[in-house]
Structure 1
Amino acid sequence: MTRATQTLLLTVTGAVLVRMAMGDTYLRYVNSWMRWPLLACGALLVLLAVVDMWRDEPKADGQPDHAPDGEPESSHVPRAAWLLFVPSLVFFLIAPPALGAHFAERAQTAVVPAEPSTEVVLPELPTTDPVPLLLEDVIIRAAYDGDTLADRRLEITGFVSRDASGDWFVTQFGMNCCAADATVMKVLATGAEAPADDQWVKVVGRYVADTGVGGGTPPEVTVEDVQLIDAPTNQYR
């Protein structure tokens, strides 16, 4: 691989990072706070490519730079550098979507301790009916203090996933850094026909008491209404 090719790969890789971070595409793969680090890394790669091009210009005598052993420096650029082009090519040709139902069936499910602490005190829910809750809030309340959900109609949002038995869930992924560390948060939906897998929905349902306790099974709601919605820009929590 020549120095010119190495410079091209640096430029392409940097440009891809900048392009991802300038829009919303990066939210499919990493957390929202990583926009500025991605922009900085992309700009740095492009800058390094420009500097490398400047250093690679011929000397005044027209002779190229040489390594200490007398061979051209270009021969010392590892061929493995071609691997840098692979993620850039994948992004431009495929642009993989955010994680969805297929991965949710196989990924680690977010759980709480088998014996939740009795010292956890959760605030009372607002009097709104139905009360809108994040999936993680439903899971925590079901495990630690299901009484706060008793006889309440909940409004929850997520995408549709299923298990091997055909039951369907309102699902969302939570992640700390990137899609590689994502865990599944889901609530079992019963009493209504399931929409298509990966379809985002807003579900109104009544919490089924004593489900999701101890993290062994997900909480359950008896569905009263299912509204099909567009996927949000940021599909992770």
Structure 2
Amino acid sequence: MVAAVTRATQTLLLAVTGAVLVRMAAGDSYLRYVNSWMRWPLIACGVFLIVLALADLWRDQGSQGDEHDAHVPRAAWLLFAPSLVFFLVAPPALGAHFAERAQNATVPIKDASEVSLPPLPEADPVPLTLDDVLFRAAYDDGATLADRRLELTGFVSRDKSGTWYVTQFGMNCCAADATVMRVAATGVEPPPDDQWVRVVATHVPGTGDGGVDSPEVTVEELELIEAPKNQYR
């Protein structure tokens, strides 16, 4: 049977868990799991756990409880699970495998008279985020995208039919609520799944209209790039 966790061991686990949170938030690894604005809340939680552990240790040094009182439930060992996950398996950011099985981000459709889409900047090509492409394609048959060369960034994913996409995940809070933003790509051979790319492409009129199906672009240039530190939008 698993030995009961002593009060001292519980204190150690609290401290280790707090230290892991601080370490994750101090670097970039926390961006695999939560949004960037969560950095300071994570640091605060980690510091709180460390302070709690130190306070518990100080309190035990001043007490003389018997052996029975010095033990806590075996379930306290579960406190170590997050630390093991982080140090041993460290799940990567969501990628092509999840994108293939997830639903596309749905653009809320409004009457065209209620939507004001400013013209794109004069740059050529013009850098656009994938959510901006989705939104613009959903209105006026992508009129603001017409005859413009777009620069898009994302990773490569595919659907069951073999169509490949420039893809990113949108995230409000954490990876659990991530939605897929993707644009179907044609015109060049696709790189391997999960490879990050920067493409210069033109929007195919009539695709993405309605905000449900993915817009399609014809790729003119494709560049392989390194994955960014923050892989979510």
- The TM-score bracket by the shorter chain reads over 0.9
Match of 1:216 in 2: 212
Alignment of 1:84-163 (within 5 A): 84-113=79-108, 115-118=109-112, 119-145=114-140, 146-163=142-159
Deviations 1:116-166 (A, max 9, x none): 321101000112221110000000000023110112111100000000011
1:107 positional shift: 2.0
Could you tell me the TM-score, scaled by structure 1's length? Answer: 0.92
In 2, Cα distance between equivalents of 1:117 and 1:73: 67
In 2, Cα distance between equivalents of 1:131 and 1:34: 31
In 2, Cα distance between equivalents of 1:117 and 1:201: 34
RMSD: 1.3
CA contact (8 A) 2:104 2:214 kept: no
Point out where structure 1 has 5 or more consecutive residues left out of the alignment: none
Deviations 1:173-196 (A, max 9, x none): 011111111000000001111101
State, as a whole percentage, how many aligned pairs show the same letter. 72
1:215 positional shift: 2.1
In 2, Cα distance between equivalents of 1:107 and 1:5: 41
In 2, Cα distance between equivalents of 1:49 and 1:13: 10
Deviations 1:100-127 (A, max 9, x none): 11111112320113x5321101000112
Match of 1:15 in 2: 19
Q: 1:78 aligns with which of 73, 78, 81?
A: 73
Could you list the structure 1 runs, at least 4 aligned residues long, displaced by more than 3 angstroms after superposition: none
1:58 positional shift: 5.4
1:7 positional shift: 0.6
Point out where structure 2 has 5 or more consecutive residues left out of the alignment: none
In 1, Cα distance between equivalents of 2:169 and 2:74: 37
Deviations 1:29-51 (A, max 9, x none): 11111111100100110111111
Could you tell me the TM-score, scaled by structure 2's length? Answer: 0.94
